[in-house]
Structure 1
Amino acid sequence: MAMILRNLETIIGLTKLKSLNIRYCNSVTDEDMEPLSGLTNLKELKLSCTKVTDLGIAYLEGLRELSHLDLLGCPVTFASLGTISGFTSLLQLNLNQCGLSDEGCQKLSELIQLKDLNLGCNKITNACLINLKGLINLESLNLDACKISSEGLLSIEGLTSLRTLELSKTRVEALSHLSGLISLRTLELSETRVEALDHLSGLHNLENLDLSFTLVNDNSLAALSTLTSLMSLNLQYLKISDEGLPFLSSHIGLTHLDLSGCKHLDIGFDKLECFTNLQSLEICDGYLDDSCVDSIKGLTSLKLLNLSNNCELTDMALESISGLTALCLLNASYNFKITDAGLQHLPPLKNLRSLYLDFTEVTADKLRRLQRNFLPNLVIFQPR
């Protein structure tokens, strides 16, 4: 039972309550936490973006059945861990954006039952990570935008149960300490200084990899050839060219590929033809021309295609797309050479639910007519 309440005193008698959601109630303060102290059967508590501090958390001391606690954006410190460490059933703890520093983080080591820990967007450094060594049950760890470097990863190299690791916007450069995390399914490295990927070659269970805005280049991609379980690969804004694409040819199981902003990809999109399982392809913000789009017309499993902001695309690109009948979302915005005439190619796309043609020469009237006469499932379209 989830509830969002203005006056928390009204729940004093609800002793069987198992789930309470008061996220984004920014009028909730420490004093409002006292009525919660009797909810001893509570398993899930969401306090995101309230004004609850360490004083308010102290009122929760008796909630020993808690398994999920969400404190995102709350102005708490690691002093609250004195209370939280007593929640012996706690499996998920979200401390994202709490403004935490290293001070007092030693008690993190007591949360040995945790499976999901989110410390993202805090001021913690490598010194804090030392306290995670014993959390051998962790399956998900978020360290996004923390002040940690490659050396700090030494503290988590023994967490072999990790399935998800988020390191985006950190100071990480080298990945040697990740080579033993063979259970990893998801790894996010966006906006780091990572270039070499050799230490990932043994992570054969990896399914989702985000390398966007890193220093990865064509040669780096060679290390990914062994990751045959990959399903989602984000290569946004990398300095890769047609020479790097063959290194991806072994990933025939890919369902999502993002090549947006890879401006050195000129031709070579025929090398994507092997990805017959692709359901989502994003190649916006580049220099694609009609021939590039024609080379992917065989990817008939595509459900999402983003071609926005490629200044050379014309109505012929829409003709190539007309055979991708599984498409549910098509974005061809900011392609100024696409006109009303190109709409004649889209009636076969009966599964389209979203169509974006903003900042093209397509007029709202012609697009509404297309929706009314040929695309009955289209519910979101621009321009309107």
Structure 2
Amino acid sequence: MSDATPDPYAAPLTFGKRMQILRQRRGMSRVVLAGLIDMSPSWVKRVENGQLQTPGLAMILRIAEALRVRDLADLTGYTDMRVDLFAGPGHPRLAAVANAVNAYPVGPSDGPAPSAAHIRARLGRAWSARHSAPNHREVIGALLPDLIRDAQLAVRQTDSAAERRAAQAALSEVYSLSQFFIAYQPDAALLWRVAERSLVAAQESEDPHTIGVAAWLTAQAHRDSGPSHFDAADEVTMSTLRYLDPLWEDATDDVRAITGALRFEAGYTAARRGDPGTAWRYWDQAEKTAKTLPAGYFHAVTSFSRAVMGAHAVTIAVELHSGGESVRQAARAEASVIPSRPRRARHRIEQARGYQLDGQPDVALATLNQAYEAAPETIRYNGYARRIVLEETEAASPGRRRRACELAAKIGLLAA
């Protein structure tokens, strides 16, 4: 007799048993799961014990979202139900980016390396292109392989400690840019590899802004890995804030912005925990930080700015599963003031989640169409958007079902 945890992907496990195993692997209690799907803990228990039948598609999708199940077949057991939710399709340029990351040469090389300043100039153009392009993954995916190789080479060919720190800072930011491309694609190991390298290079750089950016992305990676990683997310966030706070008086706008972004991240994680007091307290702190920045300032990596705080408020309300508050915040937050197309699309998705929570599925679908218009590649790789669209393809309303199917085809959930 084995004490090993059963494999939820092995037939003939029931839906309830699969749900229980996946929940336990996430380190999530029945009470937490019940709260995330707006059901009672006893309902969760009865489903897991087989006392209730498999729920309908809408509830299956909500459970999948709460458990961060990437493929619906893993939860249902039906191999003809293979739909990736929290991992988008593998981008055509993923293999080339992965090859550049995985090569990581350490020996001698031919040819001189570009300077850290040259790499930073290319990074600036890459961030600008990312924010302005609707197909932002395609744009940065084309730039990343050469950027990664050149940034690695620049570190290897430095002649002084100061040059090496500057090169490490540039390399760390190249890895940070890489995380935006790799996120939500079917290669979690590559994402973690890049996140860890970014953090190590940032520490070697001894640059506060670079350290803050790498920590911000690492905290997100932990948080998105599920409740059992929330403590790790908080530890990265809080330790970095303790490092940055004493530097506040003489801080540049970029350092202030990454400090504000980290304060919001603390609130975001608290909202995921279901702790509204802590979540809104950190949002307030982040807003106060944003007000210390120039009116037109926009942080290239995190999008932190005065303009984005309304969008952040929507995210907090949505993560707290407060439909009414989500809609109120959505009405106050103007998407058009956000200069980044992918960030604007992400805000539209968060608004759609709020409308869905508030029982306004038609408005949610219309808002997701606005997200698609802003940046198709954002919605294509967003698990929350994919869940809402897929759920509405089964809507009772023929008109809504048709609109959902049209959007599902555009984002690759259904055959066109």
Settle same-fold status: TM greater than 0.5. no
* CA radius of gyration, larger in: 1
Higher strand share: 1
Higher helix share: 2
Higher relative contact order (CA 8 A, sep 6+): 2
Q: What's the TM-score bracket when you normalise by the shorter of the two chains?
A: 0.3 to 0.5
